[in-house]
Amino acid sequence: MWRRRFFSLLFLFLPSLPILHSQAQQPDPFRWMDFHSDKDHDIVFWVERALEGEKWTAIREIGVQYDAALVVTTLRSAPDTPANQDAFQIWSISLTNHSLTPLLKGYNLRWLDFMTFAEGAPQEIPILYDNCIECAPDTYFTAFHYDRSQHLWQPRWMRGGQGVPIWNANPPPGVTWTQIYAGLAEPNGREMLGTWSHFDYGDVKPAEDFVFRYDLDPMSGLDRTQLLSGKDADAMKLRVCRAGDALPGLARGQDSILCHNLVNPKPERKPVTTPPAHNRGQSVPAVKH
């Protein structure tokens, strides 16, 4: 607590941030803060003050674009708990009025390469994360973008407080569940996520397939979740199964039997229609007695 109080008192004597009023008028690329750099100290102090009163053990990352900071904090349950078991929380913090917006919580945060979901739009920050630790976790995907209308960071495809469910480690009993996903690039430079879940019920009932596409609507720019069917679903199945087409770090399930049979189908045996070699096309008339 003494560290937080010290930073709070010190911040009161700092001059106001001159960059906060000009960022909305000029292009401002995203950048990560350097906690050891003098030029970024004012942002770090600002974030520290905004987080006063919240539960956190450490600030892990601060990214800034325009007038909002994307902040990652971690919370350790006990002093002797291993660092890889820390819970994380991601916030959007205003650099003009200290307001903060909690975005999501989880465990085992993994950063991915920046992705482009719309032509001419800024790249976005994708992540993978789990919903628990020391368990069989569900894994989720989302991406963060700066929302100009709200002046804060927002995650994509959120539902029930979580991003896109891409992996479930708890299949229902009596069902063989095959899960496949991949990040994919389009010829126009846009990127998206494709998922395929195949449920095999054995002799109980026919198998079921659920194929989804997660991207942005090109007209509105809003998050779009599409359940595919027919030829669109077949095309997506093949794309997510081709490991070489996937974006780095955003693919799983391509080694499944389902994908192997789809990408490398066995040639069908054609029925034999030619007569055997000893057949000369002649018949012997029956002998009358």
Q: Please, which pLDDT band fits residue 272 given cuts at 50, 70 and 90?
A: low
Instruction: Name the residue with higher pLDDT: 289 or 112.
Output: 112
Residues whose CB falls within 8 Å of the CB of residue 179, separated by 6 or more in sequence, listed in order: 166, 167, 168, 195, 196, 197, 252, 253
Domain coordinates of the chain in residue numbers?
A: 1-169, 171-267
Q: In the chain, pLDDT over 90 holds for what percent of residues?
A: 71
Q: How many residues does the chain have?
A: 289
Cα→Cα distances 92→27, 231, 254, Å: 19, 40, 35
Q: How confident is the model at residue 265 (pLDDT cuts 50, 70, 90)?
A: confident
Please give the helix or strand (H or E) that residue 234 lies within, else none.
helix 230-241
**Predicted structure pTM score:** 0.82
pLDDT tens-place string over residues 123-181: 999 999 999 998 999 999 999 999 999 999 999 999 999 999 999 988 888 899 999 99
Across the chain, what does the average pLDDT equal? 87
Return the pLDDT at 264: 87
Pairing of strands 164-168, 87-94: unpaired
Amino acid at 281: G
* Strand, helix or coil for residue 81: coil
Q: Is the pLDDT of residue 262 over 70?
A: yes
